[in-house]
Amino acid sequence: MNVVPAWWKLLQLPVAVTVGGYVLLAITAPFLAERALYHPGMASRRAPSGMITLRDPAGRAVAALHLPNPGARFTLWFFHGNAEDLGDLEPLLETLQAAGFAVFASEYPGYGFSEGAPSEEAIYRAARVARDYLRRELGVPAARTILMGRSLGGGPAVQLATEERVGGLVLQSAFTSVYRVVTRWPLLPFDQFANERKLARISAPVLVMHGAADEVIPFWHGERLLAAAPGVKRSLWIPGARHNDFGEVAGPRLLEALREFAALCEQAGPRSDSGAVP
């Protein structure tokens, strides 16, 4: 007759509760993450002047905007954050154009005038449609493209930077991965937008910008992303900046950092592609 030790009897309930809680977390995490991640209804739903409507292979609309700059050395492809779209971005994109960049931006499924429902894979697919247009129709090569992802936009920016050798990658107020915004530690064997892990595969120069007082995506995410970048890298840490006021608190330092980074990308990039972008 087997006798169950008294200590095991005491542990059975806590162990069962812990295991059950972990299984429940693993099952519900993807659904909870999507509800927390995507808020397209909070964006402007306003079409900016010159908006382009592209089509994915299924015929769904992907909204994009191109602001040319004949004297620019790089096209800055901006990936927006949550609860914003091209209508919200228009003043910022015009500022970036005036700062010396050609500018390109596209929306995620369900945001603004892009059709479909947002998810990690859907966002990647829409970004690839926009990339095909940027490369084939606008004639902008990867080496002359700097990808800039803000917050949620860091996910598609990092992913696309793993798929081709771009001129540079800028991450503003981005996360290491989705679940670690909540848990800090990687508690699950799967995650979404695993930016920190993917950075090891990126050889382009990287600029990480983060507010030291970010209350949504804590500052340590920026530090970890910078540490994960294997090559040439720079940082811009802004004391007192929170998640949604980074640009205002940073002031002219943001554009200065982008110009300096573009010069760094010019030095680090291939010598054979020296012309201005369209």
pLDDT grade for 179, boundaries at 50, 70 and 90: confident
Cβ-Cβ contacts under 8 Å for 179 (sequence gap 6 or more) = 29, 33, 186, 187, 188, 191, 192
Residue 273's pLDDT is what?
52
Rg (CA), the chain: 21
What is the CATH topology of the domain spanning 8-268? Rossmann fold (3.40.50)
Cβ-Cβ contacts under 8 Å for 241 (sequence gap 6 or more) = 210, 211, 212, 213, 214, 249, 250
Q: Tokens standing for 247?
A: 């640009």
pLDDT grade for 16, boundaries at 50, 70 and 90: very low
Q: What percentage of the chain carries pLDDT values higher than 70?
A: 81
Question: Of 15 and 69, which is predicted with more confidence?
Answer: 69
221 is catalytic: no
Q: How much of the chain is in helix, strand and coil states, percent to nearest 5?
A: 45, 15, 40
**Which of 197, 144, 204, 206 has the alpha carbon at shortest distance from 171?**
206
pLDDT grade for 25, boundaries at 50, 70 and 90: very low
Question: Which residues on adjacent β-strands are paired with residue 145?
Answer: 75
Q: Is 67 left (phi over 0), alpha (psi -120 to 50) or beta?
A: beta
Helix/strand/coil for 67: strand
Catalytic-labelled residue, pool 56, 85, 88, 214: 214
Query: What gap in Å lies between CA 245 and CA 176, rounded to an integer?
Result: 20
Query: What gap in Å lies between CA 167 and CA 57, rounded to an integer?
Result: 27
Query: Using the 8-state DSSP alphabet, how is residue 133 labeled?
Result: I
Report the predicted TM-score, pTM, of the whole model to 2 decimal places.
0.85
Are 210 and 173 a contacting pair, CB within 8 Å? yes
Query: What gap in Å lies between CA 26 and CA 3, rounded to an integer?
Result: 34
Q: pLDDT averaged over the chain?
A: 87
Are 61 and 114 a contacting pair, CB within 8 Å? yes
Query: Using the 8-state DSSP alphabet, how is residue 113 labeled?
Result: T
Catalytic-labelled residue, pool 44, 119, 203, 243: 243
Average pLDDT (58-77) is 97
Catalytic-labelled residue, pool 106, 114, 151, 173: 151
pLDDT grade for 269, boundaries at 50, 70 and 90: confident
Query: What gap in Å lies between CA 262 and CA 101, rounded to an integer?
Result: 9
39 is catalytic: no
List, for residues 113-137, the tens digit of each pLDDT value: 999 999 999 999 999 999 999 999 9
Please return the burial class of 76, using the count of CB atoms within 10 Å of its CB with bins 0-12, 13-18 and 19+: buried
Are 258 and 76 a contacting pair, CB within 8 Å? yes
**pLDDT exceeds cutoff 90 at 236:** yes
191 is catalytic: no
Query: What gap in Å lies between CA 99 and CA 102, rounded to an integer?
Result: 9
